[in-house]
C-alpha cells in the first residue's frame, strides 16, 4: 500500500471511530455539570484559548472602539493582520453554544483590558488587538465591549458550567515612556553594574537616590529612597500620554525599570523592556500592592475562575511569592474554591526542569506545559521515538507537588505566539500531504485529550486552520475574514477558507475533539486519575499509558500509533485485567495473557479502552 493510501485509510478509520457510542454515554453522565462547576479541579477542565478580536463580531458598532480618525488612530483595519478585526465580547457570548457542543468547560481569552490602540515606529505600526499593550487595567478595551458586557459574558458562561480564565499582565504596560538617549543607543539594555541606581548615567555620574540599597530589598523603607528614575537613561513621558494609564499610579516613571530593551537572557530578562513595552519595577512594594489590588478587583467584581499569567519568567520571584497567595486568598473569600493560576514560561524543549522551577521558587500552582508541547512536536513533526514523551512525563516529579500537581498543568499543541500545531508540523515536513497533516493533527488532539494535564484547544484548530507562521500569522479570523494573508491558507479537513464563517460542527477535528472531550468528562480516570506509562519505543510507533479511576482504581488504557504505517504491539497492563470496553478506536476484546494486551493500530491511530473485567 502506498503512503497516500495508508494516510487515507487512517483518516477513514479515525472518522469511523467518531461514531462510537461512548460520546453519547459520557455526555449523559455530565448533564448536570453546570450545577457544581465551582467544585471541579483544574485538571478536570477542557480549555478553549481564544483571541476575542478574531473569534466573532457580535457588535459592529464598537469596531473602532469609539476612537475618531483613521486606522492609525483607532486601530481597526480588517484587511491587515496586525490590526483590530472586529471580534468582541458580544460575539463570544453569542457563540457559547458552539463551544459547549465542542465539550469546552473553561474559556481562556487573550487580555481584554483597554490597550493603546496603535503603537510602533512610523511605517511599522500595528494595533493592540491582542490585548498585551495595556493602558487601563480596570475595564475591557472599548473595541471588545463594556464592563457590563463582560459581566454578561461571565454570567452566560457560568450558566453553562463553563469557567472563565483571564489572561493578565503584570510585567509591563503599553509603550509610553521614552528615553532621551534611546535613539542613539537603539534602546539597548543598560546593566545594574554599568548603571547603578546610585548615580546618574553611570558610576562616574552625579549621585542620586541616597540611601537606596538596591532592588533586592523590597521594603517600603528602602524604596522610599528611590526617587529619581534617571540612573540608566533620561526618562521622558510625552505630554499627550502623561495620564493615559489607569490606575493613575502607573503614570509615574519611578515604578518602571527604565533600563532599555531585554535580550531575553540573564539579568535583562527580568529588568529589560519586553519589545519596547514599559517594564514595571515589580520589586517595588507599590507595584506589588497596586497590581494585587487591580486583579483582586476582577475576581471580586466578576467572579472569574482563573488567571493565565503572561511573561511570568520576566518578573522577579518575590513578586509572585506575594501575588499568587493574595489571589488565592481573595478567590476563597468570594467563594471560588478552585481558582486556577498558571504562568507562561516559554521554553520549547521537551524537558520539564526549566518550567518546574517556577512552581518551586516562584510559587506558581501551575505553568503552561511547554515541555509537553515540545515533546508532541518532536513526535508528530520531527518523527522522534515515543520515548521522548515518556521521558518528559518522568519530569513530573520536578514540579512542586510532583505528579499530582502535574495533572493541573495546561497542555497544548500550538498557540498564538509559536504558531498552530498544523503549521509547526508543516514547517517540519514541507512536503506533507493535506491528508497526512490532518491525520497527524487529529492524533495530536486525541493524545492531548487522553493524557495527564488540562488540555487547551487553540481557537480555530478545531476548524482545521493552518497558518503561514507564528505570531500574527497564527491569529486568523473565525468569522468571515477580509485579510488576504489568511484567506489564501489551505485548511485541512475542509474545502472552506477563512473568507467564510468557520463554525462547522461537522468538521472532522471538531467532531474528534467533541468525542474525546465527552469521554474525558465522563470518566474521572482521565481528569483526576494517576497516569502510568505502559509502552514507548525508540522510533515512531506505539505510546501507551494507563489511567486509573481515583475512586475504585479501574484501569483505562490509552494507546497511540505515531508511525505512518499500521503497527502491532503487546502492551503491558495490570495482571488482573481480563477484558475491555471500547471507548474510542479499536480495543481487543480480551487479554491473551495476564499482564499483556495485543493491539494493532492503523497509521496515526488510537484506542481508548476501559478494563471491564478483572480476575476474581
Which residues are catalytic, by number?
Answer: 310, 344
Neighbour-count burial for 474-489, b at 16+ CB within 10 Å, e otherwise: bbbbbbebbbebbeeb
- Asked whether 94 and 153 are in contact (CB, 8 A), the reply is no
Phi, psi of 462 (to 5 degrees): -70, -10
Closest CA to 600 of 569, 573, 579, 572: 569
Distance CA 33, CA 3 (A): 43
3-state DSSP call for residue 123? coil
3-state DSSP call for residue 299? helix
Q: H or E element: which one contains 285?
A: helix 285-302
Residues written for the chain: 616
Task: Show Cβ contacts of residue 16 under 8 Å, excluding neighbours closer than 6 positions.
Answer: none
> DSSP letter at 276?
G
Q: H or E element: which one contains 139?
A: strand 134-140
Distance CA 85, CA 76 (A): 6
Number of Cβ within a 10 Å radius of residue 203: 10
Phi, psi of 393 (to 5 degrees): -65, -30
> DSSP letter at 258?
-
What the block records as the C-alpha cell of 345 is 514560561
What the block records as the C-alpha cell of 505 is 460542527
3-state DSSP call for residue 232? coil
- Asked whether 328 and 341 are in contact (CB, 8 A), the reply is yes
> DSSP letter at 35?
G
Distance CA 319, CA 362 (A): 8
Strand partners, 134: 115
Phi, psi of 261 (to 5 degrees): -80, 140
How far is CA 177 from each of CA 61, 147, 189, 237, rounded to the nearest angstrom? 32, 28, 15, 5
Q: H or E element: which one contains 136?
A: strand 134-140
DSSP 478-496: SSPP--HHHHT---SS-S-
Neighbour-count burial for 261-293, b at 16+ CB within 10 Å, e otherwise: bbeeeeebbbbbbbebbbbbbbbbbebbebbbe
3-state DSSP call for residue 324? helix
Radius of gyration of the chain (CA): 25
- Asked whether 275 and 417 are in contact (CB, 8 A), the reply is no
Task: Show Cβ contacts of residue 540 under 8 Å, excluding neighbours closer than 6 positions.
Answer: 379, 383, 384, 385, 386, 562, 563, 564
Distance CA 372, CA 388 (A): 10
Amino acid at each position: 500500500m502506498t503512503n497516500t493510501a495508508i494516510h487515507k485509510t487512517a483518516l477513514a478509520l479515525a472518522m469511523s471511530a467518531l461514531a462510537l457510542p461512548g460520546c453519547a454515554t459520557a455526555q449523559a453522565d455530565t448533564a448536570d455539570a453546570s450545577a457544581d462547576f465551582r467544585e471541579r479541579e483544574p485538571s478536570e477542565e477542557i480549555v478553549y484559548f481564544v483571541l476575542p478580536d478574531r473569534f466573532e463580531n457580535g457588535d459592529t458598532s464598537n469596531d473602532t472602539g469609539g476612537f475618531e480618525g483613521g486606522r492609525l488612530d483607532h486601530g481597526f483595519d480588517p484587511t491587515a493582520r496586525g490590526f483590530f478585526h472586529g471580534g468582541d465580547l458580544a460575539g463570544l457570548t453569542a457563540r457559547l453554544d458552539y463551544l459547549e457542543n465542542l465539550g469546552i468547560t473553561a474559556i481562556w481569552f487573550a487580555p481584554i483590558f483597554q490597550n493603546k490602540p496603535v503603537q510602533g515606529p512610523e511605517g511599522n505600526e500595528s494595533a493592540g488587538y491582542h490585548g498585551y499593550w495595556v493602558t487601563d487595567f480596570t475595564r475591557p478595551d472599548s473595541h471588545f465591549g463594556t464592563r457590563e458586557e463582560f459581566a454578561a459574558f461571565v454570567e452566560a458562561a457560568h450558566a453553562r458550567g463553563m469557567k472563565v480564565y483571564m489572561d493578565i499582565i503584570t510585567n509591563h504596560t503599553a509603550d509610553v515612556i521614552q528615553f532621551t538617549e534611546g535613539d542613539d543607543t537603539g534602546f539597548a539594555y543598560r546593566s545594574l553594574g554599568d548603571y547603578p541606581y546610585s548615580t546618574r548615567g553611570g558610576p562616574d555620574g552625579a549621585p542620586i537616590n541616597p540611601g537606596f540599597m538596591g532592588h533586592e530589598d523590597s521594603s517600603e523603607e528602602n524604596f522610599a529612597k528611590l526617587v529619581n528614575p534617571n540612573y540608566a537613561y533620561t526618562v521622558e513621558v510625552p505630554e499627550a500620554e502623561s495620564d493615559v494609564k489607569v490606575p493613575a499610579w502607573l503614570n509615574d516613571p519611578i515604578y518602571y525599570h527604565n533600563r532599555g530593551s531585554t535580550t531575553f537572557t540573564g539579568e535583562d530578562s527580568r529588568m529589560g523592556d519586553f519589545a519596547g513595552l514599559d517594564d514595571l519595577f515589580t520589586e517595588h512594594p507599590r507595584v506589588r500592592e497596586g497590581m494585587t489590588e487591580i486583579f483582586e478587583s476582577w475576581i471580586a467584581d466578576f467572579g472569574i475562575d482563573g488567571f493565565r499569567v503572561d511573561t511570568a519568567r520576566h518578573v522577579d520571584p518575590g513578586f509572585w511569592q506575594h501575588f499568587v497567595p493574595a489571589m488565592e486568598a481573595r478567590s476563597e473569600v468570594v467563594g471560588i474554591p478552585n481558582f486556577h493560576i498558571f504562568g507562561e514560561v516559554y521554553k520549547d524543549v521537551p524537558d520539564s526542569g526549566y518550567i518546574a522551577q517556577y512552581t518551586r521558587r516562584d510559587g506558581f500552582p501551575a505553568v503552561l506545559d511547554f515541555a509537553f508541547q515540545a515533546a508532541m512536536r518532536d513526535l508528530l513533526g520531527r518523527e522522534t521515538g515515543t520515548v521522548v514523551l515518556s521521558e518528559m512525563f518522568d519530569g513530573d516529579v520536578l514540579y512542586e507537588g510532583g505528579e499530582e500537581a502535574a495533572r493541573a498543568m495546561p497542555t497544548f499543541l500550538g498557540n498564538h505566539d509559536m504558531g498552530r500545531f498544523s503549521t509547526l508540523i508543516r514547517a517540519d515536513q514541507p512536503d506533507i500531504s493535506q491528508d497526512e497533516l490532518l491525520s497527524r493533527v487529529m492524533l495530536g488532539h486525541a493524545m492531548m485529550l487522553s493524557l495527564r494535564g488540562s488540555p487547551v484547544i487553540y481557537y480555530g484548530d478545531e476548524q482545521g486552520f493552518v497558518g503561514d507562521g507564528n505570531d500574527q500569522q497564527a491569529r486568523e479570523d473565525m468569522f468571515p475574514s477580509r485579510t488576504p494573508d489568511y484567506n489564501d491558507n489551505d485548511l485541512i479537513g475542509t474545502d472552506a477558507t477563512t473568507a467564510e464563517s468557520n463554525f462547522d460542527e461537522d468538521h472532522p477535528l471538531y467532531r474528534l475533539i467533541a468525542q474525546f472531550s465527552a469521554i474525558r468528562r465522563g470518566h474521572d480516570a482521565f481528569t483526576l486519575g494517576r497516569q502510568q506509562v505502559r509502552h514507548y519505543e525508540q522510533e515512531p510507533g506505539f505510546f501507551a499509558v494507563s489511567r486509573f479511576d481515583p475512586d475504585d482504581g479501574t484501569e483505562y488504557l490509552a494507546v497511540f500509533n505515531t508511525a505512518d504505517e499500521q503497527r502491532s504491539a503487546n502492551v503491558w497492563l495490570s495482571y488482573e485485567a481480563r477484558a475491555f470496553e471500547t471507548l474510542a478506536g479499536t480495543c481487543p476484546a480480551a487479554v491473551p495473557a495476564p499482564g499483556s494486551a495485543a493491539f494493532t493500530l492503523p497509521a496515526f491511530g488510537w484506542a481508548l479502552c476501559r478494563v471491564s473485567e478483572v480476575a476474581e
